[in-house]
Amino acid sequence: MKLPWLLFSLLLSLTLWSAMATASNVSYDSRSLIIDGQRKLLISAAIHYPRSVPGMWPNLVQTAKEGGVDVIETYVFWNGHEPSPGNYYFGGRYDLVKFVKIVEQAGMYLILRIGPFIAAEWYFGGVPVWLHYVPGTVFRTENEPFKYHMQKFTAFIVNLMKQEKLFASQGGPIILAQIENEYGYYEKDYGEGGKQYAMWAASMAVSQNAGVPWIMCQQFDAPESVINTCNSFYCDQFTPIYPTKPKIWTENWPGWFQTFGARNPHRPAEDIAYSVARFFQKGGSVQNYYMYHGGTNFGRTSGGPFITTSYDYEAPIDEYGLPRLPKWGHLKQLHRAIKLCEHTMLNSERINVSLGPSQEADVYTDSSGACAAFIANMDDKNDKTVKFRNVSYHLPAWSVSILPDCKNAVFNTAKVGYQSSVVEMLPESLQPSVGSPDKSFKGLKWDVFVEKPGIWGEADFVKKGLVDHINTTKFTTDYLWYTTSIFVGETEVFLKNGSSPILLIESKGHALHAFVNQELQANLCWIGSSYFNRVS
């Protein structure tokens, strides 16, 4: 019995996925990364090791692999690894070597985004707080103290990976490394110093001799020694600075981070699939989901303006490590369809064919006559029927159909075949902790953590106005308590219309205790504005 060509190709593709993704040489041309002499179309998934616990790592990596992912991507978290100058930590959730080796054991590649400034809605953007107190330091510009510590940490991480033989040049899984992060947005604010710093960062990274290419995301003037990449919801129109570089998408956002008081972020699976298909349709070669599993901001690691401890990101794998359906499944089918086109796409030139005012096809035909095509309907409101090679194809609004043989549409980004899943939280009967001295205690034992509110002499001091949080607490606590009093005279007890005075507090993400005549009237933790009616 002969297998149909598409089914045979799919089985072959799955077999290749299951093989060990070891490498010994990574290079590139204008079309793609070249790993051990073979061009690759790569699907990558961002999973940040400190945002989950080590016991979760194997299953997270395996679930990503089952979803059709080739590569795991992660930042390196400087302030987690160097809590004080020269003192390094790689235990627990910060065991970077263990995480990379789990990826290697799963037969997958890895992209290491060293930064070491990472942003990532991570506290202080990943930069150690102690660097704030190094005399003369100015972050991310032509500044010697900052450059010294940045280079020292970058070299430490590169050498650590070398010692463990984890770079592809050593037979390991790491195929790309990143220096800096989205600096192009801010470089002009630093003037000439910003330009000099960006060029220095690229040169410094390349000089580490990691044996793999270096990338700089959203670096609009990156030098030729590195590959500049795109971060956005859509990157199909992105073009590298130099024509010799492949088209890489380092951050495709399948959702967004949650902030206190804001609506839950949502990006439909259909739109994510459309963006990915369009990227590869237009010659893309590496695409990374940021995030594929967002996880949790444990402890006090959450950064940015009121970012929640959850970093779920509405990612294909949810905060608890479960596939989010239909998103995970829909993207899995997309990845299979793209992989069926890989060989043809990487070994032929792309030809664009107009099929209507907002409809087009991109066609790849190699020297053997094999053909693959992507047919897109960019109209976000109206379905269309188009003719391609004398065959009619129905395209839902805002969708791409993938034809691995230029005839049969095996996947359309707007047609979701997976059912939705909903995680339901159920109550659990908790038992006393082992060894709990209180035998009558019905629940788990509580631990109490005490944070000192200040470090500069007395914890309590009087000052008009607000104080700088970091300089006051040296980041030993998230809390500063402000106390103030408002005196209401007898003639102000009632307003002209007979109503009581109202105290309006405008704030975000704060807790407040209100007293009237030294008696507690209200306790609130809220977002936005709150009103207090005066109580006599």
* pLDDT tens figures, 22-72: 678 999 999 999 999 999 999 999 999 999 999 999 999 999 999 999 999
> Both 61 and 168 in a single domain?
yes
Is 205 buried (19+), middle (13-18) or exposed (0-12) by CB count in 10 A? buried
Is 519 considered catalytic here?
no
Provide the residue range defining the domain that includes 505: 448-535
Which residue of the set 180, 251, 270, 319 is catalytic?
251
100 token code pair: 């990379």
pLDDT of 346 strictly over 70: yes
In a domain, residue 49? The reply is yes
In a domain, residue 163? The reply is yes
In a domain, residue 9? The reply is no
How many contiguous H segments (helices) and E segments (strands) does the chain have? 10, 20
pLDDT digits (tens, 9 = 90+) for 251-267: 999 999 999 888 999 99
> Both 343 and 354 in a single domain?
no
pLDDT of 531 strictly over 60: no
The pLDDT value given to residue 432: 61
Is 183 buried (19+), middle (13-18) or exposed (0-12) by CB count in 10 A? buried
pLDDT band at 16 (very low <50, low <70, confident <90, very high): very low
In a domain, residue 25? The reply is no
Q: What percent of the chain has pLDDT over 90?
A: 72
Examine the fold and report which residue of 361, 395, 412 is the final residue of a domain before the chain moves on: 412
Q: How many domains does the chain have?
A: 3
Least confident of 141-150, 205-214, 453-462, 519-528: 453-462
The pLDDT value given to residue 485: 81
> Both 355 and 321 in a single domain?
no
pLDDT of 455 strictly over 60: no
> Both 387 and 492 in a single domain?
no
Compute how many other C-beta atoms are within 10 angstroms of the C-beta atom of residue 247.
23
Examine the fold and report which residue of 347, 377, 394 is the final residue of a domain before the chain moves on: 347
Is 251 considered catalytic here?
yes
In a domain, residue 295? The reply is yes
| Average pLDDT, integer, range 406-412 | 98
> Both 156 and 274 in a single domain?
yes
The pLDDT value given to residue 426: 85
Closest by Cα among 52, 45, 67 to 98: 52
In a domain, residue 420? The reply is no
pLDDT band at 496 (very low <50, low <70, confident <90, very high): low
In a domain, residue 31? The reply is no
**Dist CA 182 CA 230 (whole Å):** 9
**Dist CA 207 CA 225 (whole Å):** 10
> Both 53 and 102 in a single domain?
yes
